[in-house]
Amino acid sequence: MVRYAAKDMVLLMKKPENHEPKWYKLDNAAKIYPVVVSAKDSYVFRITANMKDEVRPDILQQAVNDCRDRFPAFYVKLRRGLFWYYYEANEKEPLVKPEPAYVCRRIDLRKNNGFYFTHFYYKKRISIEIFHGICDGAGALEFFKTTVYRYLELLGLPVLPENLILTLDQKPEPAEAEDSYNKYYSGEERRKRIITKAYKPCHKGFLHGGAGLIVGKASSEKLHSIAREKGVTVTQYLTALLSYCYFKLGEKEKLGTLPVKITIPVNMRRYCPSTTLRNFSLFFHTSVLYTSEMTFESILEVTKKQFISELTDKKLRDTLNSNVVIEKNIAVRFLPLFIKKIILKTGYKYIGTRSSTATVTNLGNIELPNSMMPYVIDFELNSAAGKRSNPNLSLVSYNDITTLSFSRGILYTGYEKLFFSFLAKQGLKIEVQSNLWEDYS
């Protein structure tokens, strides 16, 4: 029988200094995703690093295992509470798998040890697919950069973090797991949200589901130069171009009454100081109604004005307050989860899908330590394609390579062809690739 002195008992009862919480509330944005996820809409996105050398799966598995203590809010499983879902620490091993042909499929939790992310490998590619209920693109990127860094480190390569990587010797900061929506909620008066229906072309979907990918790679500097000549940003230029493609190839009668509305996610860390690795994004829409006199230049002018008017601190904080106030409402807070699910699912269908033609997501320019750059060629960002979803555009830049990736749930590829041919006519050299999903479907 072991005996302890009284002072030893006190020490035994103390929590260790590095104690991490074993469960996490879902952030404000994450609360919607477990409710609306389905076989048709996975709400999964993928970040890929194309490497210089063939990937070693055993080393990648060790790297993913090693990142657990640095990113505890990612290594979780979903639990159902009385009023909300919540995340709980998942003690199983996260899986590293060969990359599947089906991009951003709904995660099979039973086959994935309950985790909401998976790392994949294929020849010289390392990818992560992750559920939006865990984080947004900015949070996933930090996790992924650390995983790739650790992978290179385990290979014995001379890499250094250079203040650009969250390293494993650092303790996770509480702020990295905070709900920044609630932190910056002010409770101030909010503007009334006006929801209008968007134009949605109708095309034949893939017989067995899945996502069609068409990816273009081009010089970042040349793309920026083309946008600068028009006095706009790259995101504004490409948003206007995608709208132009829908107008050129769409049904003119419907376009005369329903606007083309492009959803633009906004990384709120650029407007509110936050180091959270969870979700902290909002979105707004550009909205353009068709006229017979419409040109690309006229669409670009309208798009630019809408970016300027919507991307203000006041409007973004109004949107944040509008999103959080529902969660704060006492009547809503104490509704049982099964009732909340009905309300959230109905509201999301009305606000989230009905009011958008397509999405343009720009993850921005990825910075890696100079010591890592010889081993990483470029990055890709892919979004999920819902059943019969029209092409959505995701882009990311690194080392003067911008990767423009379209994902879709339809057979028709006319929008992407027009989009890339338009850029080529502006003098942009583009290397285009496709997974040819239309041939396999």
Q: What is the pLDDT of residues 127-144, one digit of tens each?
A: 999 999 999 999 999 999
3-class SS of residue 305:
helix
For residue 242 the two structure tokens come to 């995608």
Residue with the larger pLDDT of the pair 293 and 192: 293
The class level of CATH for 19-181 reads: alpha beta
CA distance 204 to 155: 46
Per-residue pLDDT of 375-411, as tens digits, reads 999 999 999 988 889 999 999 999 999 999 999 999 9
Beta strands 401-408 and 212-219 are antiparallel
Range(s) within the chain of domains with CATH label 3.30.559.10: 19-181
> Please, which pLDDT band fits residue 13 given cuts at 50, 70 and 90?
very low
User: Could you tell me where in the chain the CATH 3.30.559.30 domains are found?
Assistant: 212-361+386-440
pLDDT band, very low/low/confident/very high, at 12 (cuts 50, 70, 90): very low
Q: What is the mean pLDDT of residues 358-384?
A: 97
Q: What is the pLDDT of residue 41?
A: 87
Answer yes or no: is pLDDT of 436 > 50. Answer: yes
Q: How far apart are CA 344 and CA 335, in angstroms?
A: 12
Instruction: Retrieve residue 84's tokens.
Output: 């909300």
> Could you tell me which residue, 252 or 280, shows the higher pLDDT?
280
Distance of CA 67 to the CA centre of its chain: 20
- Give the Cα separation of 437 and 403 in Å (integer): 19
- The class (CATH top level) of 212-361+386-440 is alpha beta
Check pLDDT > 70 for residue 351.
Answer: no
Q: Helix H segments across 1-136? A: 6-13, 33-36, 57-66
Q: Is the pLDDT of residue 349 over 90?
A: no
* pLDDT for residue 273: 95
Residue percentage of the chain with pLDDT more than 90? 77
pLDDT band (50, 70, 90) for residue 20:
low
Between 81 and 118, where is the model more confident?
Answer: 118
Q: What is the reported pLDDT for 386?
A: 85
pLDDT given for residue 24 in this prediction: 87
Please name the residue ranges forming H helices in 109-189: 137-154, 180-184
- Check pLDDT > 50 for residue 164: yes
Q: Best-predicted range by mean pLDDT among 84-88, 255-259, 342-346?
A: 255-259
What per-residue confidence (pLDDT) applies to 207? 86
Q: pLDDT tens digits, residue range 304-328?
A: 999 999 999 999 999 999 989 878 7
Please give the pLDDT value at position 82.
79
Which are the contacts of 271, defined by CB distance < 8 A and separation ≥ 6?
313, 316
CA 242 to chain centre: 19
Across 30-34, 171-175, 218-222, 374-378, least confident range: 30-34
Q: List the structure tokens of 30.
A: 């994450």
Q: Tell me the average pLDDT of the chain.
A: 91
Residue range 90-98: mean pLDDT, rounded? 97
pLDDT of residue 15: 39
Whether the per-residue pLDDT at 281 is higher than 70: the answer is: yes
Confidence category of residue 5, pLDDT binned at 50, 70, 90: very low
State both tokens at 216: 């273009």
What is the mean predicted confidence (pLDDT) over 228-257?
96
pLDDT at 228 over 90: yes
Choice between 398 and 345, residue whose per-residue pLDDT is larger: 398
pLDDT at site 17? 43
Distance CA 372, CA 73 (A): 26
9 or 401, which is more confident? 401
By mean pLDDT, which of 2-11, 39-48, 147-156, 386-395 is the weakest?
Answer: 2-11
Instruction: Supply the pLDDT for residue 38.
Output: 83
Lay out the sheet containing 85-89: strands in order across.
23-25, 85-89, 76-80
> Is pLDDT at 1 greater than 90 in this prediction?
no
d(CA 138, CA 213) in angstroms, rounded, equals 22
Q: What residues pair up with 139 in beta bridges, in sequence order?
A: none
